[in-house]
Structure 1
C-alpha cells in the first residue's frame, strides 16, 4: 500500500459500551488465540467496528476510510473476472489451490 510522504494516520477508537464492548473484546481475544491478528506498535491506527448481521451475529470490521483517502491507486488494476473466464474458456483443465489456513 502506497501512501506517499503522508504522515501516519492515527484515528481514535470509537466509544463502545455494554454488550457491544463485550462482543468486541471477545472477537479480539478469539482472533488473537487463532493467530489471525497480533499486537502491533505501528504509528498507523484505524478504529474497529462491529457490524450486526441478519442472523444476530456480529462481523468485525476496520474503518479504513481515512487511510483509503490518502492511498495511491495501483497502476495495474486486477483484471475483470469475465475477461479472465473468457481466456480460460478453451482450457482443457482448470484447477484451484487454496493457500489460506482454514480458520
Structure 2
C-alpha cells in the first residue's frame, strides 16, 4: 500500500509540474545556447581535484559575459526622467521623433 502512495504522490508532482509549464507559471526551457557542455562531468572532477583550474574556468566564464555599456556624459537623459529607459547597442545613430 505504501508503494502505491509514493507512486501516486510522485505522479501528482510530475503532473503539477507539466501543468505549470504549460500554463506558463514556470519556465523549464533550456536557455543555454552553447552547442557543447562546458566542463560537464569532468567539471566536477576539476572542482575537487584541480580547484585552480575550476576557479580559472569560472573567471573565464564571468569575463566572457558582456555587461550593458555605461552611459557617456554627452548622451543626455535617455528618457529616464519621463519613465522611458532606452539602451541602444547599435553604433550608428537612429533618428526618432522626440516623445512628449
Q: Tell me, yes or no, whether TM beats 0.5.
A: no
**Of Structure 1 and Structure 2, which has the larger fraction of its residues in helix?**
2
**Of Structure 1 and Structure 2, which has the larger fraction of its residues in strand?**
1
Specify the structure having the higher radius of gyration (Cα). Answer: 2
Q: Tell me which of the two structures has the higher relative contact order, counting C-alpha pairs closer than 8 angstroms and 6 or more residues apart.
A: 1
